[in-house]
Amino acid sequence: MLLVGCITPSAIAQSSSSSLAPGARPLTDAVFKVTPERLERGAYLAEGPLACILCHSKRDKMLPGWPIVKGTEGAGQVIFENGDTVLASPNLTPDEESGVGTWTDDMLARAIREGVGHDGRALSRFMPYTGYQYLSDEDLKSIVVFLRSLNPVRHEVPRTRIGESKKDSWGPRRIRIGAPVAHPDMSDLLTRGIYLVKAADCRSCHTTQQPRSPGNFGGGDIYHEDTESPVFSGNITSHNSGVGSLTPEAFASIIRTGKGGTLDGEMPWQAYKNSTDEDLAAMLHFLKTTYPINHTVLNRVSPSFCEVCGQRHGLGEINPIPQLESFDSSYVIPWDIAGSYTQLGGRSQFDISKIEDQWMISANWLKPSPIMAASETTFHALNLNRYFHFEFDKTGEVTGFQVTTGLDVGRFKRAKK
């Protein structure tokens, strides 16, 4: 979810590859029972916090928040077209020729939560199944039941094509769901907030993919990059430069009004405004438990260089180089940790070496920074806004480390000597 920029839209966009998704599970003949409760819940999720209908409809970009053009609800649209790349959200109405009228319930369910199209192909990551994978079985069935109830609209939408320049950022990602997903305890405020933030895939847009990342939910991801007026996603961590000082009422007002209509249309507040007070309060409650990252981001003002994310955005000049709090220096690092560490499933790499009896960590964007011990098992680097824990094999040799931030654990494998 975005407060100042863009969220990954809910577009079931198909990859240009003609190959089948590796490891795609076989379809079943499951039919989801239609009930009033499922229709109501599915409508709420698709028109609200998951933003499905907003993305799969034509939008008026001349109005604040880019609201849906009446009569195009769920009928799809071309979202982005440039050179060899076309991103399109398909027609989700039950029209049998241009929509999903001939799809089975499980075709829709597999596409939504696992990123595999009705014909077995991997879907572009522009479709946020990386968030939808956390949907409970019941919520997933409710969405499918609701989509079946839409008025059929005849509207042909071109197939998505991912060009070479965008394959790293928008190419497919494999999601495997091997067991039933139970519905969480929505009476617990934190559990509810985590579920909604995960399902809405707030982290993807509010965590920059740039080489110098402030951290999960720390903002700084760039949109409209090829225009004269790029926008950046906002910081939604628990720091006061994020959402730390917001009351539930203020947070709800920002979402419901798009911060007075000033939020860029990439941020789907036109959908999020349909969320209940209880759900918005739960999401804020969780975000206030995230690691506090000092990173002020403001669009619509003159940009300046930001030491935190390494980009030029509004108020970038006021952001300090991130410094973690100091700890008792009596703790030491008792192992040999020298080497190169590469992110599993990613491209980031760190190098650790010892310089004058001090362990230092560096990267292509990070000058050598001292590693300090926060405790006997927890470590951090002075100029790296992360805490990390080393991993070992059976012999006690360090094999890698993991970084815990926000919802995820990032793992880095040490190269063999």
On the question of pLDDT at 9 being above 50, the answer is no
Residue 303 lies in a domain: no
Please compute Rg for the chain using Cα positions.
22
Q: Which two tokens stand for residue 95?
A: 């029209």
Overall number of domains in the chain: 2
d(CA 1, CA 287): 11
Summarize the confidence of residues 195-218 as an average pLDDT.
86
User: Rounded to 5 degrees, what angle do the CA atoms 307, 367, 297 make?
Assistant: 15
d(CA 236, CA 219): 7
Banded pLDDT at 226 (limits 50, 70, 90): confident
Percentage of residues in the chain having pLDDT higher than 70: 88
On the question of pLDDT at 254 being above 70, the answer is yes
In one letter, which amino acid is 1?
A: M
Report the predicted TM-score, pTM, of the whole model to 2 decimal places: 0.78
The CATH number of the domain where 387 resides is what? 2.40.128.50
The rounded mean pLDDT for the chain is: 86
Claim to verify: residue 162 and residue 222 sit in the same structural domain: yes
User: Rounded to 5 degrees, what angle do the CA atoms 127, 128, 132 make?
Assistant: 130
User: Rounded to 5 degrees, what angle do the CA atoms 210, 216, 217 make?
Assistant: 100
On the question of pLDDT at 190 being above 90, the answer is yes
> What's the pLDDT score for residue 369?
84
Query: In which domain, by residue range, is 210 found?
Result: 36-169+187-287
The Cβ of residue 201 has, within 10 Å, a number of other Cβ atoms equal to: 23
Claim to verify: residue 274 and residue 399 sit in the same structural domain: no
Residue 63 lies in a domain: yes
Q: Which two tokens stand for residue 5?
A: 């920029």
Q: Do residues 128 and 136 touch, judged by C-beta distance below 8 A? A: no
Lowest mean pLDDT among 10-19, 216-225, 296-305: 10-19
> What's the pLDDT score for residue 10?
34
On the question of pLDDT at 171 being above 80, the answer is no
Claim to verify: residue 89 and residue 211 sit in the same structural domain: yes
* Those residues with Cβ within 8 angstroms of residue 394's Cβ, 6 or more apart along the chain or in another chain: none
Claim to verify: residue 373 and residue 276 sit in the same structural domain: no
On the question of pLDDT at 16 being above 50, the answer is no
Claim to verify: residue 136 and residue 225 sit in the same structural domain: yes
Burial class (CB in 10 A: 0-12, 13-18, 19+), 261: exposed
Claim to verify: residue 277 and residue 353 sit in the same structural domain: no
Banded pLDDT at 15 (limits 50, 70, 90): very low
Banded pLDDT at 323 (limits 50, 70, 90): low
> What's the pLDDT score for residue 3?
45
Work out the widest C-alpha separation in the chain, in whole angstroms: 70
* Those residues with Cβ within 8 angstroms of residue 356's Cβ, 6 or more apart along the chain or in another chain: none
pLDDT in tens, 362-409: 988 778 888 887 777 778 876 666 678 898 888 889 999 987 654 455
Residue 24 lies in a domain: no
Residue 319 lies in a domain: no
